[in-house]
Amino acid sequence: MQYLNNKEQRLKQHLTQEKLGEIVGVYTSNISHIERAATQVSLSSLVKIANTLDTTLDRLVYDSLDSVANLYIEQDISNLLQGCSLAEKQIIKNILITMKKTLKENR
């Protein structure tokens, strides 16, 4: 989740990560991880963050949903390419180019 939108919300409220963590009851490092989507966060913590930042849950996470999925897909593709030879990677690249073209043509 890149990225919960809570960093922008937090800054609008003039709160540091430390202060938000103190109010919500989580470590400062957890606030940093939440903002970078580097950790899973409980619903109760999200609710506390949303309430503290005077926003709603949907506003807090709306911009992260597609980007998270995109990030994981790109990581998966990168992992699949590991161990492939240069020639194999070129073949996979050509297949992806053809697939992308076909998908765009059939929209």
Q: Are 13 and 54 in contact (CB under 8 A)?
A: yes
**Residue showing tokens 């960093």:** 7
DSSP designation for 94 = H
Which among 65, 48, 44 is positioned nearest to 10, based on CA atoms? 48
Count CA atoms within 13 Å of residue 53 on its CB side: 28
**For 27-66, what is each residue's pLDDT tens digit?**
999 999 888 878 888 899 989 999 999 888 877 776 566 6
Q: What is the pLDDT of residue 60?
A: 76
Chosen CATH of 1-107 out of 1.10.260.40, 3.40.50.1000, 3.40.50.300, 3.10.20.30: 1.10.260.40
Give the largest CA-CA distance in the chain: 54
User: Does the pLDDT value for residue 4 go beyond 90?
Assistant: no
Tell the burial category of 35 from Cβ atoms under 10 Å away from its Cβ (0-12, 13-18, 19+). Answer: buried
pTM of the complete model beyond 0.85: no
**For 63-81, what is each residue's pLDDT tens digit?**
566 665 677 678 889 989 9
